[in-house]
Structure 1
Amino acid sequence: MMLNCPRFERPREKAICNGIETLSNQELIAVILRTGNKEMSVLNLASLLLEEIGGFQALKDVDYYQLTKIKGIKQAKAIELMASIELAKRMQKENTKRFVIKEPQDGYEYIKHKLMFEKQEKVILLCLNSRLEIIQEKLLFIGSGDASMLETKEVFQHTLRCGANRIILIHNHPSGNPAPSVEDELITQKIKEMADCLEIEFIDHLIVGNHCFYSFASKKIYQNKED
């Protein structure tokens, strides 16, 4: 029930107008709970929940029985809230297992099974943080031809959006030969120049072939017969 709350102050409307990140802890919980009851609004129910379990930090350890003891929290609300908490826990675990790329071989090992036997060319952007951990992987292009079809601005739109300060570009040659074409050379130079202007480190551009790859940073082809 939200009858006593102006529409622009309701959590869902506030999230839509101002962004989900503007919601307080209480409001985020209210969005998950969705409704209150005859005695209290959903915001009041969220506030009561936090009070009963001992504060926001206690959410990570709350269980089903604790939740269902709270007046106004029944089975459905308890399960929905626990599902949201579990998702947050799993995302946190994923963040602690980020893949680190310190050399060309690392990038190849990370991506080879996704690109090696593709029949179409794919261009993938890896966005890294200052610790050389992959924080986002983005498929930029699928098609025939070459990497010159790639729009340079698209590379940096994704890079800036996720807050990365280092990038690696990777694409495959369906022919199996990773030797760079003239077009590959040109797009690499173009991205390097733009990265320099934006103070983003362009670590490497890898071309994946059949059990081998080319690194623009090393300027050589690596053979990997053990794949």
Structure 2
Amino acid sequence: MRIVVLASGRGSNLQAIIDSVKKGALEVEIGAVVSDKGSAQALERAVKNNIPTRILPAENYTTRAEYDRALAQLITGLNADLVVLAGFMRLLGNDFISKFPNRIINIHPSLLPAFPGLDAQKQAVEYGAKVSGCTVHFVDEGMDTGPIIAQKCVPVIEGDTTETLSARILQEEHRLYAAVLALLGKGLIETDGRKVTIKRS
């Protein structure tokens, strides 16, 4: 399975995927890393691992629809079987999503549908949640509303701050994303756009 990773920031989930591939725990080809920010650390991680990079700055486009169409054209040219969002901080619209139906996944630092959107860990701490975690899901046009593939629970410990909770969730994100990609690579996950079915290997 050939994946293209979209990232805007430090790329720690990207690094976890790279490490899993290197260890032989994950059989995917990372065709490219694409970012909307030329300063993204994720691009540096890609270069260090001989992965092609592409930069598509949002400020070069006047509307989100224009950007989405340009991004879709770029991804199509990279022959991706799956688009993997790893800290990509743009909400993708129908102009992009319609080009890759059921072929875009994202990881979110909460147990969706709880705490969607930005600052999910902060939302959990401020709400007083006893349990949080992370979710891998297919991407639709909503904000973290696509069909859920897998989740991992992380307890919220008394005295947790946004930073301490975020760090523990991130550890589970790294494991969960690689595990889901392994299942997808083996063709064991299917979706009709509403629900997800995981087959037995």
TM-score (norm 2): 0.21
Structure scoring higher RCO (CA < 8 A, sep ≥ 6) equals 2
Q: Which has more helix, going by share of residues?
A: 1
Q: Which has more strand, going by share of residues?
A: 2
TM-score (norm 1): 0.19
| Greater C-alpha radius of gyration | 1
